[in-house]
Structure 1
Amino acid sequence: MVSGVSKSFGGVKALRDASFAARPGEIHALAGENGAGKSTLIKVLCGVLRPDSGTVQTTGELATAFQELSLAPDLTVAENLFLHDPPRGRLGLVRRSVLAPRADELLRRFGVDYVDSRAVTADLSVAHRQIVELVRALATEPEILVLDEPTAALQESQVAWLAGHMRRLREQGCCVVFTSHRWREIEDLADRVTVFRNGSHVTTREKLGEAEAVTLMSGRSIDRTYPRLPPVPAGADRTLTVSGLRAGALREVSFDLHRGEVLGVGGLAGQGQADLFLALFGARRAAGGTIQLAGRPLRVRRPRDAIRAGIGIAYVPEDRKSEGLLLPMSVRDNLALGILDRLSSAGLVRRSAERAAVRSMVTQLGIVASRPMTQPVGTLSGGNQQKVLMGRWLLTDAEVLLLYDVTRGVDAATKHDFYQLIAQLAERGKAILLYSSETEEIAHLCHRVLVLREGRIAAELAGPVGDAEQIVAASMRERR
């Protein structure tokens, strides 16, 4: 039970007299926008942060899987799984010979046979790192399990895997507390929901619809979940042409992307989606195939080639913290990073031009930052961090935008802001390649959808598809 907890960071009040109570044998969801205080409350609950005031009472062993992965990136999966209690010999030394076999046994026990226990954690995908973090918490068989955004990076099958374990623990009398920005998961799993706004408790309910929840969380109503896409202009020029591209898991992928078009990339996890985006941006070397940008051949060997090529290619990655943002640096520095050459003269940054560019993007995207010129971007909420990353690439004025799971880990209201932004960018003539781990987004936000299967295009669906099941079904069928 949490009662009257307050916590401030400098002049920012993250929690204001926050309270909630969860029971044994219950799955209890904490809901709220980014910056509502959910993650801070969980860190207080788990003893990571000391509250300024208030009390926390728990009974029984507690395990946590954090939104910000707590794995040691340079250690192997096996070493991370047994980091706190490794197998030791008589002299107290770690028995490395049995470390990997025991990790394999543990992973199999939880139905995870697709993660190599000997792999270095940093080499895993974000989803697989999250799975390892979850297995480490589940393996303790705790009486209280606290999960902070556990599904943000997971595919639908992996979400179902976690849901099964959460229900199993509930049946055993465990108290499960979790946060999620996917309302369908909250409706499916939670026995009760507690809503927070601006660090304060708003309500606790057994039944709560999404529309009312969004209003309670944000203080405003959202009429449409997905905006209406502007039509692709008749005879629109081909902005990007890809022929026979091979890279990583990709096998002979070809497609056109037109001016003003949102082209979705769907399919089950691990079918080459990440390889496609990274190869187009030059972050992964292509093994074959050709790329044309605005009708001209383009050789992309590194990201610099993509950024500086003609009309420009920009890439917004899935993991803003490790792949996108420089967390200790200011909002200004992160926003201006992509256009420093334009803002500089004789090697010196023209600060007035930089401030003007930063202010315009902060206003355009509604970035909530008290001191954008000096405030470290790492102190912002997740949704505002994602807006900063998006803003950096919008400032480059690139005509091709590669958006890879840009709504991962952001709240419903911020997601709606991104949906509106994507539609606006398409209306302005930007060519957008879009991937999302939430198939529902691909179904509603794209003019066409390419479904990848085993590294090849298995189907092309005219959009907006509207029904995510069509994309899932296409991903399961044999390739044409």
Structure 2
Amino acid sequence: MTETPPLVALHGVSKDFAGVKALTEVDFECRRGSIHAILGENGAGKSTLIKIMSGVLEPSTGQVLVNGQPVAFGNPAEAQAAGIVCIFQELSLIPDLTVAENISIDAPPRRFGLIDARAQRARAVELLARIRCADVDPDMMVRDLSLSRRQMVEIAKAIGKNPSVLILDEATSALTARDVETVYDLLADLKAQGVACLFISHRMQEVEKLCDTLSVFRNGQHIETFAKGARSDGEIVRLMIGRDVEAQFPPKPAAQGRRAPVLSVENLRWERRLKGVTLDLAPGEIVGLGGLDGQGQRELLLALFGVLRGVEGRMVLSGAPYAPGSPAAAKTGATRVALVPEDRKTEGLMLELPIADNLLAAGLKQVSRGPVIDAGLAGRAVAAGIEALRIKIGRPEDAVGTLSGGNQQKVVIAKWLMIAPDVILLNDPTRGIDVGTKQEIYRLMRSLAEEGRAILFYSSDYAELIGCCDRVAVMYDGRVAAELSGAALTEEAILSAALNIHAEPA
């Protein structure tokens, strides 16, 4: 009996970018009715692999086959016509269009040659119900949706193309816990229908729960493919990074008495999102922000960085009243404040501009003499930033969008370190990056704290909060519900405070 060919196969595929090998002689395949994890550090070649499969890139050498037949996709539309649909980490939605318009933007239903708005809306309602998001209003502007809801609309848009191969690139990294469970159920349904799902995630618990097959990539090479359960977590990580894993989190300093705060907020309020936040942040400490998504953490960071208008309450920075009217004011005061934002693609970087320009964007004053940028100072600053964060690049003149996700995040962090901030606000900075880069960021955070910087760190990962932070303020409904430190800083305690309940003693 002849074996059915894989839905998609790559034979000897390589991809070069200006002399840099992104993929080297890769053989890979995915089959019907499988949820197949693609694992590897940022820069391992995962993004290049899926871009070749989905028609965004053409291989330098090698061959792509669909159902056993060679193909040469010239663009994503040709790949979608062959049944290959990719949900990329950077969303493709247009903020100033409605949910319904975005879902059908590639091929809107027409009547008498015009877009049929009623049919377009009905299609959106049907697809949103299919992915269990019937609560999303199809007439709502995408710009008014939360990041998690926007991601779900992106998934509905992809499902509407009836894929036989669905590729998800960190598609759950921006989702709330409820939406993650919804995606789990959806993928199980697609698997039962014979769809091949390729799943890129740095969350091993997701991989273990969802995937039946795992493939590891490292330095542009396909290292190994195996069935779920065939390798331990430690073995998988060693395959990914090519070395034994160090301790995940750097050691914390010995507990000290509370120092005078560099930043204090008291009864901070904004619209219906912040309802009386009181919090202190001292030099040399890492304070975590915990809680379920959407409890005011993002708004608190934006308020501290001067983004929001109409903030009420009292803020004190280095002993003086603090009311930044803009991010420019926050970053240029006597005590400088920096924010690493939630979404590096849309809020942290200018993807089409060179790496060097992105690194200098926040600190042009530091490399200028009067109104003119000093080329020598700028070049040395860029080189120092790249070296300090070990950013893997081809040339500083390359577009920052060509870098892997982890290296893009390093650029965002390095950009803000250019201003030598005294207070550093971090909004989920390790979302969607690999274990090796996460460890580098953890060590950097602790090093910056040891230098006397004050760090306020929001993370959706409770293990990060426990491992990185000296204390954690857990937010619930726009307030700090609990502050935890020492032996009281446990996952159970964080979750109990996040749900506004009292943990029962063990």
Place the TM-score, normalised by the shorter chain, in its bin: over 0.9
Q: Report the alpha carbon displacement of residue 213 of structure 1 after superposing the two structures with TM.
A: 2.1
Does 1:19 pair with 2:19?
Answer: no
Structure 1 residues 195 and 345, CA, compared in 2 at 3 Å: closer, same or farther?
Answer: same
Structure 1 residues 287 and 268, CA, compared in 2 at 3 Å: closer, same or farther?
Answer: same
Q: How does 1:458-469 map to 2 (within 5 A)?
A: 458-463=481-486, 467-469=490-492
Alignment partners' CA distance in 2, 1:352 and 1:15? 35
Alignment partners' CA distance in 2, 1:232 and 1:118? 53
Q: How does 1:67-466 map to 2 (within 5 A)?
A: 67-89=89-111, 91-206=112-227, 207-231=230-254, 233-248=256-271, 249-372=273-396, 374-463=397-486
What SS does structure 1 have at the residue aligned with 2:266? strand
Q: Report the alpha carbon displacement of residue 220 of structure 1 after superposing the two structures with TM.
A: 2.5
List alignment gaps of at least 5 residues for structure 1: none
Structure 1 residues 98 and 458, CA, compared in 2 at 3 Å: closer, same or farther?
Answer: farther
What SS does structure 1 have at the residue aligned with 2:481? strand
What SS does structure 2 have at the residue aligned with 1:57? strand
Alignment partners' CA distance in 1, 2:97 and 2:487? 43
Alignment partners' CA distance in 1, 2:134 and 2:340? 30
TM-score (norm 1): 0.94
Alignment partners' CA distance in 1, 2:379 and 2:107? 50
Alignment partner of 1:40 out of 34, 44, 48: 48
Q: Report the alpha carbon displacement of residue 421 of structure 1 after superposing the two structures with TM.
A: 0.9
Check the 8 A contact 1:336/1:354 in 2, yes or no.
yes
Letter in 1 for 2:251: R
Moved more, 400-409 or 48-57: 48-57
Alignment partners' CA distance in 1, 2:326 and 2:435? 35
What SS does structure 1 have at the residue aligned with 2:23? strand
Superposed CA offset, 1:187-231 (max 9, x none):
221111111112111111112333222222222222211222224
Alignment partners' CA distance in 2, 1:425 and 1:463? 21
Structure 1 residues 114 and 479, CA, compared in 2 at 3 Å: closer, same or farther?
Answer: farther
Check the 8 A contact 2:472/2:484 in 1, yes or no.
yes
- The number of equivalent residue pairs is 478
Alignment partners' CA distance in 2, 1:340 and 1:477? 44
Alignment partners' CA distance in 2, 1:54 and 1:370? 23
Structure 1 residues 231 and 100, CA, compared in 2 at 3 Å: closer, same or farther?
Answer: farther
Letter in 2 for 1:86: P
What SS does structure 2 have at the residue aligned with 1:277? helix
What SS does structure 1 have at the residue aligned with 2:85? strand
Letter in 1 for 2:360: A
Structure 1 residues 179 and 456, CA, compared in 2 at 3 Å: closer, same or farther?
Answer: same
What SS does structure 2 have at the residue aligned with 1:396? coil
Structure 1 residues 56 and 161, CA, compared in 2 at 3 Å: closer, same or farther?
Answer: same
Alignment partners' CA distance in 2, 1:466 and 1:175? 41
List alignment gaps of at least 5 residues for structure 2: 1-8, 68-81
TM-score (norm 2): 0.89
Identity of aligned residues (%): 44
Alignment partners' CA distance in 1, 2:219 and 2:384? 25
Check the 8 A contact 2:263/2:315 in 1, yes or no.
yes
Check the 8 A contact 1:15/1:41 in 2, yes or no.
yes
